[in-house]
Amino acid sequence: MFVPRIEQREQASILHADLDSFYASVEQRDHPELRGRPVIVGGGVVLAASYEAKAFGIRTPMNGREALAMCPRAVVMPARFEAYSEASKAVFEIFRDTTPIVEGISIDEAFLDVGGLRRISGSPMEIGARLRARVATEVGLPITVGIASTKFLAKVASAVAKPDGLLEVAVGSELDFLHPLPVERLWGVGAVTAAKLHSAGLRTVGDLASVGEPLLGSVVGSGAGRHLYALSMARDPRRVEVGRRRRSIGSQRAMGRRAKTPGELEATLVAIIDRLGKRLRTADRMTRTVILRLRFDDFTRATRSHTLYESTDRTDVLMTASRKILDAAMPMIETKGCTLLGVSFTNLSGRDVVQLALPFEEHHQEKLDITVDSLRDRFGSKAVTRAVLLGRPEGMQVPMLPD
């Protein structure tokens, strides 16, 4: 069989660093009595599970009751997103101290390009080992690092090396490493696509490479077939991008299966928008489109959106738009229940490219937002609270991954 030549770097110099069971690991770090025990973060829905809990088959985003039925002795911990955010910042400082070329993917993982650092920092394996040791010593968390010549292979290597591992795919051995792996290791292969591939007798990455792109296209569609065949041949020309800006930001809250009053739903929405507004301003971003995401008791989902006349980072404007969307969705919620509510902002732009609208009015709300943000930065997120949230639990807000 003819095997096309793979475009390769001189060495495997891309690292994929991924914190292991991040939320659960932070809880075990901060509560030593939980180390070695199965830990679940989140109540109604499993947001994270320690490896001890995963050994019982617990996964995200599993229903909390189902998870406890699988492991009755698991310890359930409420989410503490301030703690996770602080841990993430500390880890990313180590990333950037390792190399200036860092591309964050989410709160707990990033790509790092260490090409050209051999003379001053050693081989990629030495750099990866040192990074892992620093994260363990300085932040107290386990992290897995995969090293390869492409981003895709580095990510696969870290997945194979988990938990708390270090694995390099040497240049020239990419296909030997990749082809024996199950098709589920490829980006874009979820349960539905995996079932289609299995029904066609394709179970390993090597199987996809051997049948070729045309046959793959007949099984999963031409676009997906082209994508999967390229990955099966370890083709990934992307470079680690520094300063890549998110196309959306968002947050969601799992709410359990009990009935919720309109007041509870509004309070949840207010808490999410309040946090996202601060994140927008901290990042010097503005948004035009607000998206509301709902999950119902029967696990079906719905998405509703509203695009504003002009971009904004003002909490009051975003709050008004979000409330309108929620009000329109209330008949559906009353019929089907609501187990998750989330909001995301898209159509993002920088503040410096937004033209001010006429007439130029006094921006009292903008000044209020800045004042509230500065108070929270100085005294903590609970220093100033909206009246609708007084007396309510902090809840379970989950940062959504960048698109």
Question: In the prediction, which pLDDT does 187 show?
Answer: 82
Residue 393 has pLDDT above 60, yes or no: no
Peptide bond into 124 cis (omega under 30): no
Residue 353 has pLDDT above 60, yes or no: no
What the block records as the tokens of 185 is 């290791």
Task: Identify the residue whose tokens are 């949840």.
Answer: 268
Q: Is residue 300 scored above 90 in pLDDT? A: no
Name the E strands within 169-297: 249-254, 285-295
Kindly state the DSSP code that residue 185 receives in the 8-state scheme.
G
Look at 256 and 35; give whichever has higher pLDDT. Answer: 35
200 residue type, one letter: A
Residue 402 pLDDT more than 50?
no
pLDDT band at 384 (very low <50, low <70, confident <90, very high): low
**In this structure, what token pair is assigned to residue 22?**
């991040």
Mean pLDDT value across residues 27-43: 93
- 14-168, superfamily in CATH? Reverse transcriptase/Diguanylate cyclase domain (3.30.70.270)
- Which tokens go with 376? 């929270």
Torsion angle defined by CA atoms of residues 136, 34, 397 and 240, in that order, rounded to the nearest 10 degrees: 20
Q: Between 4 and 298, whose confidence is greater?
A: 298
Residue 371 pLDDT: 53
In this predicted structure, what is the pLDDT of residue 298?
Answer: 82
| CATH domain 249-399 topology | Dna Ligase; domain 1 (3.30.1490)
pLDDT for residue 193 is more than 50: yes
Residue 61, preceding peptide bond in cis (omega within 30° of 0)? yes
Judge if pTM exceeds 0.75: no
Catalytic site includes residue 109: yes
The answer, yes or no, to whether residue 7 has pLDDT greater than 70, is no
61-70 residue pLDDT tens: 788 889 999 9
Q: Could you tell me if 151 and 238 are in contact, meaning their C-beta atoms sit under 8 angstroms apart?
A: yes
- pLDDT tens per residue across span 362-375: 444 555 555 555 55
178 close to 153: Cβ distance less than 8 angstroms? yes
Residue of higher predicted confidence among 311 and 257? 311
d(Cα 226, Cα 312) in Å, to the nearest integer?
A: 39
Set 52, 103, 109, 266: catalytic member: 109
Domain boundaries, the chain: 14-168, 179-232, 249-399
User: For 95-122, how does the pLDDT look when each residue is reduced to its tens digit (9 = 90+)?
Assistant: 999 999 999 888 899 999 998 888 888 9
- HEC states along 53-110? HHCCCCCCCCEHHHHHHHCCCCEEECCCHHHHHHHHHHHHHHHHHHCCCEEEEECCEE
| Residue 245 pLDDT level (bands cut at 50, 70, 90) | low
Give me the mean pLDDT over the 326-350 stretch: 89
- Write down the CATH number for the domain with range 179-232: 1.10.150.20
